[in-house]
Amino acid sequence: MARLIGLGSGAAMTVALLMGLTGLVAVADDTARADHESTDTLDVRDRGEVAASFENEVIQPIAAVPADPAWTGDLDPACNEGTIPPSLGQAALSQINWFRDMTGAAPLSRSAQLDNMASGAALLLAANIERVFDGDNPHNPPPTWDCYTEQRAEGAGRSNLAAGPSSLLAVDAIRLMNDHEDNNTRVAHRQWMLLPQVRPIGYGATNPSGDPATSSVVLIPENRTARTDEFIAWPTEGYIPMHVTPFRWSLAYHGSNGDADFSNANVTMTYQDAEVPVDVVHTGNAALGPQIVWDFTPGEVIPGPARGEKCDGHAFFCGGLYGEGLAVDATGGDVVVDVRVSGIELRGNTVDHCYRVVVFDPDRSGSAPPPFDIPCSDSPTPTTTTTTTMPQPPSGDCESSFSDTEGHLFEDDIACIADVGITLGCNPPENTLFCPNEDVTRGQMAAFIVRGLDLPDAPDQGFADTDGSVFKEDIDALAQADVTRGCNPPANDRFCPTEDVTRGQMAAFLVRGLDLPAASDQGFVDTEGSVFKEDIDALAQEGITRGCNPPQNNQFCPTEDVTRGQMAAFLNRALIQP
């Protein structure tokens, strides 16, 4: 059974472990292509055009990959990346570009330099696959790993990684787009492959005839400030072949993280006037921006799953790719699904977004095309949707029950984070005090961020110094979400829960947790040379920090400790204030 392990690399990447190893690297720039109105973009409302592009850009490149791809490298003892048949990289790039074309993003090219980085990342994963299966983070490999080099580690930290049977190596890009495992509810692989700013990528694979084989797609965002200010859905509006239709759907808004909020949104899917029960599995920020992700059960209302002969000989789609068959069975006719996402907070307004998806079998003729411009008002009121909530602004002014915050500079911020349950107080069990001038420890910071982001529980993350800490569960949750990596690099086997948090460290925690985009220099005179400079600039650009020396605020004071009052201000601006 395929297994996907959700991990992160700066902006929430994940690793797909499916028993084969590959890798891709991509670089983002400021240029982003507009929506489907572009004349050189695939017309997703044209069934024949989508079918032809799927055949030419997905099926044929996959068919060109040898059944037993040769690899000239080795793992032991030389740790040699070697070479792979060119058709493997060509198939991966073609698949990714087809998905991007479907959503209106510009096509990608490959870079020889990034190919080398991706090959190294795939080799590193292959050499340490048992460690990964045992729980090691393949995006943050320590120097103790076999075949470790800094370049291979950098590639692994910037990659979509896959491992699985060699028979599936040619369809790694499709597996990554599915993101169907329980620990990939953020669909981070999908997000990165659809990111409009990405341009050149690198692809590498190791041991393609072995078990496992591995692959790497390296994605290096150099500048993610360009935004198209549009909704990006997968599956997108229009026709989509049933062979690549997942049961996990997503809708993102490609704007700044503060532009849209899906935390109170509802999803309604309908098929033949019947409502499809859905389960919202994630709301929050990701590479594309704020998003909502939901699952449906194949066969419950929508026809499916498709198995056996219904795959028309494409066994890698029906069998290994999905295990239990395709999510939607369109062999009996086109499957028209209407989607309505209601209650989206968009720049101060509440809006709905509606679109129509037609799942079809490219090997069979279809019926007359349906109208695609559907009014949102015609969609039924959702009754079976479940949602995940984030902390919401309290109604009216925030009121503090703490006896030591009246008149404090951060009194309102403290009251607001208390109202939504991010803080409980500093003197349990009474919790009548907040202690605003005390420094924040790393353990306390973990609790603040986990409550604020509503992060799920996590298994033990292996830190040697957290057993017995009251914040152990929060620390594990923070580490699983890749908001923290440890306090003693490169080993990173400790968290240091009782140490104080500096303002620079706090910036890094919040930028990772909120997945904030890169920013231009914000003019602080004391951040040059700081390892946290990029995080500080990103935080300032979003208005979460203003500086440490008002009214000038031309300094950030990155090495100073964060007080509990300051942390309340950061969290209120980041998570609660509209």
- Residue 277's pLDDT band (boundaries 50, 70, 90)? very high
Structural tokens at position 163: 């491992």
As a whole number, mean pLDDT of residues 118-128 equals 89
- Residue 561's pLDDT band (boundaries 50, 70, 90)? very high
Half-sphere exposure of 351 (CA within 13 A, CB side): 13
* DSSP of 102-119: HHTPPPPEE-HHHHHHHH
The pLDDT, as a whole number, for residue 324 is 52
As a whole number, mean pLDDT of residues 509-527 equals 88
For residue 519, pLDDT over 70 is answered with: yes
Q: Between 442-453 and 564-571, two packed helices, what is the crossing angle to 10 degrees?
A: 20
What mean pLDDT, rounded, does the chain reach?
Answer: 79
The pLDDT, as a whole number, for residue 559 is 92
Structural tokens at position 223: 């500048």
The backbone region for 499, taken as left when phi is positive above 0, alpha when psi lies in -120 to 50, beta otherwise, is: beta
Other beta carbons within 10 angstroms of residue 454's beta carbon come to: 16
Provide CATH 3.40.33.10 ranges for the chain.
47-219
In this structure, are strands 266-271 and 213-221 parallel, antiparallel, or unpaired?
unpaired
Provide CATH 2.60.40.1220 ranges for the chain.
230-360
What tens digit of pLDDT does each residue of 346-385 get?
A: 888 899 999 999 999 888 887 778 888 887 743 333 332 3
C-alpha to C-alpha distance for 368 and 48, rounded to whole angstroms: 12
Structural tokens at position 496: 């240091």
Task: Assign domain 230-360 to its CATH architecture.
Answer: Sandwich (2.60)
C-alpha to C-alpha distance for 265 and 292, rounded to whole angstroms: 8
What tens digit of pLDDT does each residue of 193-252 get?
A: 888 776 688 888 887 556 667 777 765 544 444 566 789 999 999 999 998 899 999 999
Contact (CB, 8 A) for 344 and 266: no
| Collapsed DSSP state (helix, strand, coil) of residue 200 | strand
Integer-rounded Cα radius of gyration of the chain: 24
Contact (CB, 8 A) for 416 and 398: yes
Cα-based distances in Å from 372 to 38, 271, 501, 540: 18, 14, 52, 41
What tens digit of pLDDT does each residue of 69-89 get?
A: 788 888 877 899 988 889 888
Beta-bridged to residue 345, according to DSSP, are 261, 350
For residue 317, pLDDT over 80 is answered with: no
Whether domain 47-219 has CATH 3.10.129.10: no
Lowest mean per-residue pLDDT among 113-127, 165-179, 497-511: 165-179
Contact (CB, 8 A) for 249 and 296: yes
Contact (CB, 8 A) for 202 and 40: no
